[in-house]
Amino acid sequence: MKRPWWSSGVRFACQASCGRCCDEPGGIVYLAAADAERIAEHEGLTVQDWLARDARTTHDGRYVLKSRESDGVCIHLNAKKQCDIYNVRPQQCKAFPWWSENLATQRSWQETKDRCPGIEAEDALLIDGATVRLHMFADRVSTKGFRTWPPKRSFWNR
């Protein structure tokens, strides 16, 4: 089996006050149940109250982070292009740019690189392939999301 093109590692460092990954009108941040718990605790709210305040559901019922009505950008991106909840941000945000669709081909990676100044930036670190893979899987969990609170337990998450 052929190894993915990124398995030997990719250079990346998030750039201060960039915010380009969060500054996309209409962008969707899927929430994992653990995200809702972590952010609600940080905000001093119950998960139900936090979901009512800061989340909405998609057409198929998954919870996603709300966007600002004024411009469609993430509600937690401040005027300095910084995340107000960076230390507890959703896993999908932590996983960027290591999303499956970004890594699918070298062409899709080049398109991501064109939008993200942190990829191969001067201060970029080599992120090893195993770490990239962990972020990809975490993004998949987030994208799967949840539809009820508390989430229904399945055989696989007991």
pLDDT for 120-157, tens place per residue? 999 999 999 999 999 999 999 999 999 999 987 655 55
Q: What is the pLDDT of residues 29-68, one digit of tens each?
A: 999 999 999 999 999 999 999 999 999 999 999 999 999 9
Percent of the chain with pLDDT strictly greater than 70: 96
Which band of pLDDT confidence, cut at 50, 70 and 90, is reported for residue 1?
confident
72: three-class secondary structure by DSSP: coil
Bridge pairing between strands 63-65 and 125-127: unpaired
- Confidence (pTM): 0.88
Residue 37's φ and ψ, nearest 5 degrees, are -65, -45
> What 8-state DSSP symbol labels residue 6?
T
